[in-house]
Each structure stands twice: as C-alpha cells, then as structure tokens.
Amino acid sequence: MMRCAVLGDPVAHSLSPVLHAAGYAEVGLEDWSYDAVRVPAGSLAGFVADLDPTWRGISVTAPLKREALAFASTVTGRARLAGAVNTLVRDETGWAGDNTDLPGAQAAIRERYAGPVRSALILGGGATAASVGLALAELGASALTLAVREPRRAAETVAALATHPSAPVVDAVRLEDVRASADVVVSTIPADAQTPDLVARCADAPVLFEVTYNAWPTPLVDAATGVVVSGLDLLVHQAVLQFEQFTGRPAPLEAMRLAGLAALAARAQ
C-alpha cells in the first residue's frame, strides 16, 4: 500500500481525495490511497516526521504552505519564488517541496482564455494569491495589484511577486479602494467578503479567476460578464501535476475532472 493525503485546517471540504482516488482507479493503482487529514498550523513538521515509509506524497493546503517551505529538505525554484510549498514528495533526502499551484494556475487560465494578460487585480494576499500572481506574471502581466484589508499584512506576498524575473510593478491597496481595470481579476477571498460594492466594481473584468470551488457560485461569479476560471479548474490542473510526481505516471486529467464535477454536483443537492 502506498499512501498520500492532503493536509490542512480546515480540510474536510477538500475535493483532492476525490480527484486523486479517481486518478488511481483510472490507471489501475489499486494499492494507492489518498486521505484528507486535519493538521493545525504549527503542526506540519511533527505530523510528517511520524509518517511510515508507506507514505509517498502529501498535498499541502492552508494554512500550512509556508510551513512546508521551511520543512522541505529540497525546494524547487518555483516554490522558492512563491514562498510556499503545496506538494511534498518523499525522496532519498527526506521530503522534496514543490509548488504546483503556479503552473496549475497558468494551465487553468489558458484552458479558458487565450487573450492578453497585461495586468491583474488579486483580491487577497496569502500564499494562493502569491502563486496565482506569479502565474499571471509568467503569462505576461506587468502590473499586479493586491487588494487586502490591511496592505501592510500583504508585504510578504508583494515581495514574492516583485521577485519574478519579469519585474512586474506590484502594489497593495485596501479592498474598499479597489478600482478594477485589469485584464484578470483573481479572488482568493471567501464569498462572505465579496460585498455588493466590491462585486459591482469587478463585474466587467475580461476574466474572473475565482479560486474557491465551495459556496459556488460566489457573488463575484454571479456578476461576472467575462470568462470565468474556477477553483475546480485550478484544483484539477495542480492535482494532475501532484499525481504525476507522487506516482510517476501520466495523470488522467479528464477522469479526475469528471470526478470533481460529480462530487460538486452531489454536494449541491
């Protein structure tokens, strides 16, 4: 038996077990399992240190992505750039850290939208905002604005985005001061923080990237007039990359996507 899991807090809502299990079934990995395990902030290193050799891979979600960066024995350049690790894979040195959110976000956007990405407004300033912002810089965005409750608390993410080799112009503003005129609006904030005023100011963006897949559709999605990229799009594309790192096999993207859609439909009933 080979074991994998997603760790976070909260984590019971995660669709990752559904996606990975569907992938295992599709390619015939009958001895592989994937669970969701609640691991509070500050507990990641202790939890992983106690895992036996049957554990192969770990997906890391909030609030543990920056803890995972410090914990990993080796770290990829993109994870170092993002300042966050969402993927841990056991190797001969311990646990190797990667960030599949960054390439997963690129793939999710390009699957839905082929137009120019010159500027972006990102609602929120956490680890996911950093990864998606870097993905947008990879796609050509030269101006990135973070909209947060308190700009000083987004300093780490602003710094991470500014280190991208393309040297984008990065600034942070208060959510109440948002003036959306970007090619892409990214929301990493919960649905209950999407006030009518904020929604109205973001509704005309050519692309809305709503990173959640819970409480769907969010107020921003309901009001969007352009292309919508969903949190499930992001989850599937980054999970495909994790699956391949964990198993060493090509991932069955469509089987994983269909399993996620079915699970969301069941939740909505």
Q: Which residues are catalytic?
A: 65
CA distances from 39 to 6, 152, 211 (A): 9, 28, 22
CB contact at 8 A, 6 and 16: yes
Pairing of strands 207-210, 119-123: unpaired
Name the DSSP class of 177: G
Gap between the Cα atoms of 9 and 15, Å rounded = 14
Gap between the Cα atoms of 99 and 77, Å rounded = 9
What b/e readout covers 225-250, taking b as 16+ CB neighbours within 10 angstroms?
eebbbbbbbbbbbbbbbbbebbbeee
Rounded to 10 degrees, the C-alpha dihedral 181/232/45/154 comes to 10
Neighbours of 45 (CB within 10 A): 14
SS3 95: strand
Neighbours of 143 (CB within 10 A): 16
| Token output for 231 | 């949190």
